[in-house]
Structure 1
Amino acid sequence: MTPLLELRSISCGYENTVIAGQLNMQLQAGEIACLLGPSGCGKTTVLRAVAGFNSLLSGTIVQNGKEISSVGFTLPPEQRGIGVVFQDYALFPHLNVFDNIAFGLHRRSAAEKKLSVAEMLKLVELPDISNRYPHELSGGQQQRVALARALAPKPKLLLMDEPFSNLDTDLRKQLALEVRSILKDQGIAAIMVTHDQQEAFAISDKLGILARGTLQQWGTPTELYYQPVNPLVAGFVGKGELFDAECLSETAVVTELGTIEFAEPFGGVTGKQLSLFIRPADIRPSTEKGNVMATIEQKEFLGSSVVYQLMLPSGRRIESEIFEPLMFEVGSQVSLHVSAHRPIAFSG
């Protein structure tokens, strides 16, 4: 199947300065992808190159089998059939909602524009605000109008640059799920740029970690969470700590947290040195006898979970998160048990 979009070893930046280089990825029709990474890593630069706003320093961008960007050639944005939702929404303040949404429908008749705008407003659940102006709308409503405007021309691909960053946490999560539902219902593929891991997990079918100027890993959110290719990816998609480990067998390792037995063989070779990535939710404090003792230095009650800051005998501080009403007081001595889920291990 021909990908809807393909980046072939692209490098992009400004004035011959590479910000993100040698990126390879494919997006199929109807797939929703996220580029996740720290501020300044080049996520927006890549998005602008896909939109046609920035030229390439190397490589090729192909859309439906047709080259749309290469060195020395950039198909104009208006000829790509790609919708864009900007971080600041970019609504025209002097136009009402109807005219904002209809702005990109130049070649439609008045009747077609009216029908299309009504359809889009119904889609984003704002059917009665066509006469309002942007300053009369809440942040969430402005975001929905920006989405409606981008979807009105019926693009096959939508690009979103930090679309929910100006909203509060609860509204961000709600809108992310709503946007995913709308895109899936309309069969529209999308690439969203974000630095929020939870947001990326909520909306994406495919996820790319962009850091240190390159695409570290591209795959499903599940693959990146459970099978990260390096510690950088592991740490970016979820909290965790690296521990030096030595294989005792195909199913066991010894670490600073004691001996950890895994349910299934993971390919360990006796005596081999590894770095084991362990998440806070896998470390459980207990009053029962365990491999190693720790001191609780701090606790934080989060409602659905409790986070403990623990001091190991070596002086190392680590974090544990438990999802049950099991409370220990600061200063308590506890034993630590590590859950024997699938290991995340890297060669030492």
Structure 2
Amino acid sequence: MGSDTLNGAVATTRRQGVSFAASLAFENISHRYHSKDTIKNVSLTAEAGEVLCLLGPSGSGKTTLLRIAAGIEMQTGGRLLLNGQEISGPSVFLPPERRGVGLMFQDFALFPHMTIRDNVCFGLNDLPKKEALMQADAALDRVGLFHYADRYPHVLSGGEQQRVALARALAPRPAVLLMDEPFSGLDSRLKDSIRADTLAILRETRATAIVVTHDAEEAMRMADRIALLKDGCLVQVGTADELYRKPCNLFAAGFFSEINVFDARVRGGRVETPLGGVPAGEYKEGQPLSVAVRLSGVQLEPEGGDIPARILSRRFLGVVELLELAVPQSERTVRARIRADLLPQGLRDVTLSVNERDILVFEKDASTS
């Protein structure tokens, strides 16, 4: 019997049940560390069965929120509710092992002296030995690594170790799976495939997942919804489409796309920038505004565009080129990202136009919120 047939036959007797998905709600969560506020009154719910990404730069509080959810960290204010039942707050604090929550660490945290199977069994101490082994084998089978069960972590690649860590986190069938930067240690060439495999496994198990990342594209690839954080505050929550197309402020706009930023005021019902303008809409005459123009929205042609420009530099990045331009009425250079080979090499003087949907206007003080 071939190995593929054998693995398929064994898999039919080793199917792991799906998880019981639960909602996890952060209700007015605050946290202080050495008199510094690290989380500031955050309210957010991961709905049952969804993948929610906590996105933000270093120091935004996303990992602290994850540690609070896991029970490793205690909030200084607010409550944590699992399916509406308080598991951490003024009246109760359930230890990590009683929460039905799985945690997958950034560095995988596999024990080098234990076999792959024993690593996966580590979180199944409450089960009889035989049942724990069956659960571990089912979890390894799910991530495609059952054939490595009796080997040790050092023989595995980084991507395989990541899958073992995922199997260990899934083996107890957690209601909520917490993942802290799960792909940051992987080779960039592996990330896409491992991320896709992980997402497929999460969908199959139907566990609620909260994933921490600092990479906006990764969040957009994985998440049903994204929670964007900055300086311990929740900036915006929504789908990838909502956050990209309708960012609430300049910070959110800049996190999801490269932008040129201009100061502007409403004049005659319009907001004008050196790259073009848009109707002022709800903004009042003379109101100071911040305007973001996406690099990808700047269209360049040898002639025929709306605004003359001079190419100062161009950098080939494979599929695209990154250009720096000088334009009238702007003291600063303007950047554009265009398809590679769209313009002839050696060309210096061009014209540009901007798609109005790539011009985003915000109140001046909203950019710092």
TM-score computed with the length of structure 2 as normaliser: 0.86
Return the offset for 1:248.
6.3
- The answer to whether 1:286 aligns with 2:301 is yes
Aligned to 1:28: 47
Measured in 1, the distance between the counterparts of 2:262 and 2:145 equals: 51
Identify which of 334, 355, 369 aligns with 1:339.
Answer: 355
Measured in 2, the distance between the counterparts of 1:126 and 1:269 equals: 61
Indicate if the aligned counterparts of 1:296 and 1:329 stay in contact, CA closer than 8 A: no
Aligned to 2:212: 193
Measured in 2, the distance between the counterparts of 1:159 and 1:33 equals: 10
Per the alignment, in what secondary structure is the counterpart of residue 193 of structure 1? strand
Measured in 2, the distance between the counterparts of 1:3 and 1:269 equals: 46
Aligned to 1:97: 116
Identify which of 249, 256, 262 aligns with 1:243.
Answer: 262
Measured in 1, the distance between the counterparts of 2:22 and 2:285 equals: 44
Identify which of 326, 330, 333 aligns with 2:342.
Answer: 326
Aligned to 1:220: 239
Q: Superposed, which structure 2 residues align to 1:65-84 within 5 Å?
A: 65-71=84-90, 73-84=92-103
Aligned to 2:275: 257
Return the offset for 1:73.
4.2
Check 1:189–1:27 CA distance in 2 against 1; reply closer, same or farther (3 A cut): same
Indicate if the aligned counterparts of 1:3 and 1:29 stay in contact, CA closer than 8 A: yes
Aligned to 2:11: none
Indicate if the aligned counterparts of 2:293 and 2:358 stay in contact, CA closer than 8 A: no
Identify which of 168, 179, 183 aligns with 2:202.
Answer: 183
Aligned to 2:323: 308
Measured in 1, the distance between the counterparts of 2:128 and 2:205 equals: 23
Indicate if the aligned counterparts of 2:278 and 2:359 stay in contact, CA closer than 8 A: no
Measured in 1, the distance between the counterparts of 2:259 and 2:222 equals: 23
Per the alignment, in what secondary structure is the counterpart of residue 211 of structure 2? strand
Measured in 1, the distance between the counterparts of 2:206 and 2:76 equals: 32
Partner deviation per Cα, 1:2-42 (whole Å, 9 max, x = no partner)? 97111111112334432121111011101101111111222
- The answer to whether 1:205 aligns with 2:224 is yes
Measured in 1, the distance between the counterparts of 2:345 and 2:31 equals: 52
Identify which of 223, 231, 234 aligns with 2:250.
Answer: 231
Measured in 2, the distance between the counterparts of 1:181 and 1:344 equals: 35
Check 1:93–1:317 CA distance in 2 against 1; reply closer, same or farther (3 A cut): same
Partner deviation per Cα, 1:217-260 (whole Å, 9 max, x = no partner)? 1111111111111111111122112223455677x6422113x4
Check 1:39–1:330 CA distance in 2 against 1; reply closer, same or farther (3 A cut): farther
Aligned to 1:147: 166
Partner deviation per Cα, 1:190-243 (whole Å, 9 max, x = no partner)? 111111111111111111111122111111111111111111111112211222
Check 1:297–1:148 CA distance in 2 against 1; reply closer, same or farther (3 A cut): same
Structure 2 regions of 5+ residues with no counterpart? 1-20, 365-369
Return the offset for 1:299.
1.4
Measured in 2, the distance between the counterparts of 1:73 and 1:299 equals: 59
Partner deviation per Cα, 1:32-89 (whole Å, 9 max, x = no partner)? 0111111122221111001001111111111111111124742100000100000111
Indicate if the aligned counterparts of 2:298 and 2:352 stay in contact, CA closer than 8 A: yes
Indicate if the aligned counterparts of 2:104 and 2:165 stay in contact, CA closer than 8 A: yes
Measured in 1, the distance between the counterparts of 2:165 and 2:348 equals: 52
How many aligned residue pairs are there?
343
Return the offset for 1:150.
0.3
Measured in 2, the distance between the counterparts of 1:345 and 1:149 equals: 46
Measured in 1, the distance between the counterparts of 2:50 and 2:84 equals: 17
Partner deviation per Cα, 1:82-126 (whole Å, 9 max, x = no partner)? 000001111111110000011111232333223222221121121
Measured in 1, the distance between the counterparts of 2:272 and 2:36 equals: 45
Check 1:179–1:27 CA distance in 2 against 1; reply closer, same or farther (3 A cut): same
Return the offset for 1:289.
3.0
Check 1:337–1:101 CA distance in 2 against 1; reply closer, same or farther (3 A cut): same
Aligned to 1:299: 314
Aligned to 1:275: 290
Aligned to 1:55: 74
Per the alignment, in what secondary structure is the counterpart of residue 47 of structure 1? helix
Partner deviation per Cα, 1:253-285 (whole Å, 9 max, x = no partner)? 422113x468xx955666655322211010012
Measured in 1, the distance between the counterparts of 2:324 and 2:259 equals: 13
Return the offset for 1:287.
1.4
**What percent of counterpart residues are identical?**
40
Higher share in helix: 2
